[in-house]
Structure 1
Amino acid sequence: MADVQLKAATAVVLGVSGILLLWLLDVLLWKPRSLLRKLNRQGIPGPPSRSFFLGNIPDMDRIGAEAKRAADAMGQTQGEGAGVISHDWPSVGFSYLLKWRDEYGPNFIYSMGQIPFLCVTDMDLVKELCLSTTPSLGKPLYLSRDLGPLFGEGIVSSSGPSWTFQRKIVAPQLYLDKVLNMVDLMVGSAEAMVRSWEGKIESEGGMANMRVDDDLRSLAADIIARACFGSSYKQGEEIFKKLRELQGLLVSVSVGVPILRYVPMRKNRAMWKLEEEIESMILETVKARKKDSSEKDLMQMILESADQEGLPPDMSSQQFIVDNCKNIYFAGHETTATTSSWCLMLLAANPEWQDRARAEVVELLKDGQPDSSKIRGMKTLTMVIHETLRLYAPAMIVVRRALQDVKFKNLRIPKGCNIQLPISILHRLPDIWGKDWNEFNPQRFVNGVSGACKSVQAYMPFGVGPRVCVGQHFAMLEMKVVLSLILSRFSFSLSPDYLHAPERRLVLEPGHGVILHITKV
């Protein structure tokens, strides 16, 4: 009898193990490769996958390492403030995409672990994808899975009805008419930073050697906190600090290799702990806010919506609040801070454009403060920001996941495939942008985006289509306010301590900060 029971139990274990193994093989191997084969049969080539679990990740690492060694040998990745700065950082950062584009053509396939990608740089197909309004394209699953501790199921990472519901709540609070009413708030926050810079310059004898990107990050955090959550940066400082720490850990996450995110390694344990701490702090903030619901800002709209009908059935009200607060905290300050930092670097390296932008700002402000009407007149500064976003867009790639089989330009893209638009490559196509594609030339935007290149769809710093960044008006206005105040008060040049090293983190950041010599005008 015992032998019969043992054999039965063994059969059950073996059966369950077999089912689990088949499921893993389906998820990790058969399904991703099946998607790639469907595209390959339609004439889309790509590099062979050399690893069972990692796909083309080993090739990406190898190609990247080779490009880095070659660039270091030529002195292209490091430059002193007085030297010539190369803006062609994708030749190292996305060397594998450029290599495969040269080998396989403008559209090609590859896999990152279990994630199949269709990389698209053919402008006809890019245009069709950008103009599409189909609900069959959503955000990639790895945002909410591999990068879940930061993005969760919030507006940045969700798809389908969940995203539609969240967008109805968040987007109206960031429409242009609402954002224009935030100018005074932005000026107030920026003035505090400007005064601190003036104090430092005076204390150092008229010129200060300053790392500005940290200050700009704190300023952007203060602005988003005041504008959207009714609090100052100091009140939410610990949340921002821990989010920044979480970002640092997520940079090293092996996207596309799902097994690793469940292993209790030290890095994973640290991420899980931070995720719990951030959630706890956000809920404490929410609890305090519920006691005073007089303000009608974005935070209040999120709180009210969490109790309404229409909330996605698979999302709790608490998750809705926490995930969207994290999304807005991150997207609302990290991208504008890094872009402002790159903008100051470029103006410091190009004094003729700094002088032009300052002359315009001084003429418009006339010793006053920026307001919505004066900001609309800042044409040169707008051109400078657009060119900064072309060369150093914080979001380096747009990815959409096919939620259903979709067809574009006679190409049937199977459900589950990720469509990748490499912003940093599209922003540098010589046949679209001209022979000066690798130069800082804001003049190209003198007649707007449509006059800057041969196809407006090649410029996408805020994303594309229905999923375009809901905060783009807020970001542009904030950058104009902050940069105009800095230009009107200070003159700056690159410090010899500045090391030009763009780094691919969750956004494109100056790897060693932006260090400037700053004097008062």
Structure 2
Amino acid sequence: MGRLLSSEVTSRIAFGNSYIEGKNIFEMLTKLGFIIYKIFLTIRVPVIRKKEEKAMARGEGRFGSDYLGLLVEAQHDDNDNQRISADKVVDDCKTFYMSGQETTTTLLSWTVFLLAVHTDWQEEARKEVIQLFGKETPHSDGIAKLKIMSMIINESLWLYPPLVSIIRKVEREVRLGKLTLPPNLDLVISTIAIHHDPEIWGEDVHLSNQRDFWKGLLKQLTTT
């Protein structure tokens, strides 16, 4: 129902037609998305080879301290038990890129929405950025000092986590309280439910300024 409603609104606003009239177009776009996704999974990542070539040119065994460098280093590990395959490196790079892009987009979207709703915090964040950077271009060292902005981002992650759930597979039989979890069972852990559970965080779970986490940050803001 939700998909039909959103598709109907999109179709009428963007194309001036009913969703039912353009149903075939939406279905073809969906199929096209799957085709593009499958093609992307077969693409090799050229930066992996470049990372190896740079390390060989320098005559060093290390490939850098970034995520890709650590993966390539693990690929060349002398220990057979710790070494990973080239396909594993490629798969991890693709997963990291796609997941990172999607989660970051979700985080930014909700953060902008919250700032639009709570204009007082939007103004506080703006003042902090201007005070810290002035007319300078923001840089990583300064961004790490943005306390109010960090609070806003963490609050957005708390209220609307990009990953609504986490899936873990049980490797062996485990006792969890009164439950017995058999092997190969997929556990779905709801991130949103945990973040909004009053049994864990108390009745003030939805009041940001009452949570202990924010009390500590607010105290830090007033003393520095």
Shorter-chain-normalised TM-score: which range?
0.5 to 0.7
- Aligned pairs (5 A) from 1:40-439: 65=1, 270-271=34-35, 274-282=37-45, 284-293=46-55, 296=64, 297-310=66-79, 317-370=85-138, 374-430=142-198, 432=201, 434=203, 437=206
Measure the CA separation in 2 of the matches of 1:338 and 1:420: 20
2:154 is aligned with what amino acid?
H
Alpha-carbon spacing, 1:449–1:349, altered in 2? closer, same or farther (3 Å): closer
- Whether the 8 Å contact between 1:400 and 1:418 is mirrored in structure 2 is yes
* Residue equivalent to 1:123: none
- Structure-2 residue corresponding to 1:448: 213
Distance 1:363 1:444, change over 3 A: farther
Q: Distance in 2 between matches of 1:379 and 1:320?
A: 37
- Contact 1:383–1:443 (8 Å) recurs in 2: no
Amino acid at match of 2:43: S
User: Percent identity at matched positions?
Assistant: 24
Taking the aligned partners of 1:373 and 1:286, their CA distance within structure 2 comes to 28
Q: Secondary structure at the match of 1:448?
A: helix
Structure 2 unaligned spans of 5+: 10-28, 218-224
Give 1:331 deviation, angstroms: 3.0
Q: Return the alpha-carbon distance in structure 1 between the equivalents of residues 163 and 68 of structure 2.
A: 25
1:325-353, Cα deviation, whole Å (9 max, x unpaired) = 11221233321232022111210121111
Shift of 1:317: 2.1
CA 1:373 to 1:354, structure 2 compared with 1: closer, same or farther past 3 Å? same
Amino acid at match of 2:90: V
Is contact 2:74–2:84 with CA below 8 Å preserved after alignment? no
The one-letter amino acid paired with 1:398 is I
Could you give the per-residue CA deviations for residues 421-442 of structure 1, whole angstroms, max 9, x where no partner exists? 21112222345353673xxx65
Q: Secondary structure at the match of 2:180?
A: strand
Look up the SS of the partner of 1:320 in the other structure.
Answer: helix
Q: Any unmatched runs of 5+ in structure 1?
A: 1-64, 73-77, 79-247, 250-265, 453-521
Equivalent-residue separation in structure 1 for 2:196 and 2:169 (angstroms): 24
Whether contact under 8 Å (2:44, 2:90) holds in the other structure is no
TM-score, normalised by the number of residues in structure 1 = 0.31
Please give the secondary structure, in 1, of the residue aligned with 2:175.
Answer: strand
- Alpha-carbon separation, structure 2, partners of 1:304 and 1:316: 9
Against the structure 1 CA distance between its residues 321 and 275, is the aligned structure 2 distance closer, same or farther, given a 3 Å change threshold? farther
Aligned length: 186
Shift of 1:420: 2.2
1:328 corresponds to which letter in structure 2? F
Distance 2:191 2:125 in 1: 26
The separation in 2 between residues aligned to 1:434 and 1:320, in whole angstroms, is 45
Secondary structure class of the residue paired with 1:331: helix
Contact 2:209 2:215 in 1 (8 A): no
SS in 1 for 2:172: coil
Aligned to 2:21: none
In 2, Cα distance between equivalents of 1:358 and 1:274? 38
Letter in 2 for 1:320: K
TM-score of the two chains, using structure 2 as the length reference: 0.64
User: Whole-Å Cα distance in 2 between the matches of residues 386 and 377 of structure 1?
Assistant: 14
Q: Which amino acid aligns with 2:72?
A: L
Q: Residue 320 and residue 450 in structure 1: after superposition, are their counterparts in 2 closer, same or farther (change >3 A)?
A: farther
The separation in 2 between residues aligned to 1:385 and 1:279, in whole angstroms, is: 35
Greater helix content: 2
How far 1:410 moved relative to its partner? 3.5
Q: Distance in 1 between matches of 2:177 and 2:91?
A: 36
Q: How far apart are residue 390 of structure 1 and its match?
A: 1.5
Please give the alpha-carbon distance, in whole angstroms, between the structure 2 residues aligned to 1:343 and 1:351: 12
Deviation, structure 1 residue 443 = 3.3
For residues 80 and 91 of structure 2, the distance between their equivalents in structure 1, rounded to whole angstroms, comes to 13
Question: C-alpha displacement at 1:389, in angstroms?
Answer: 0.7
The residue type paired with residue 300 of structure 1 is: G
Post-superposition Cα deviations, 1:435-485, rounded to whole Å, max 9, x if no partner, equal 673xxx65345x526879xxxxxxxxxxxxxxxxxxxxxxxxxxxxxxxxx
**1:342 and 1:311 mapped to 2: Cα distance?**
44
Structure 1 residues 369, 435: closer, same or farther in 2, change over 3 A?
same
Q: 1:448 to 1:367 in 2, by over 3 A?
A: farther
CA change 1:312–1:277 in 2 (3 A) is farther
Structure 1's 327 and 449: CA in aligned 2 closer, same or farther, altered over 3 A? farther
Q: Which amino acid aligns with 2:53?
A: K
- 3-state SS, counterpart of residue 54 of structure 2: coil
CA contact (8 A) 1:386 1:442 kept: no
Supply the distance in 2 between the matched residues of 1:450 and 1:397 (Cα, whole angstroms).
27
Aligned residues of 1:403 and 1:416 also touching (Cα < 8 A): yes
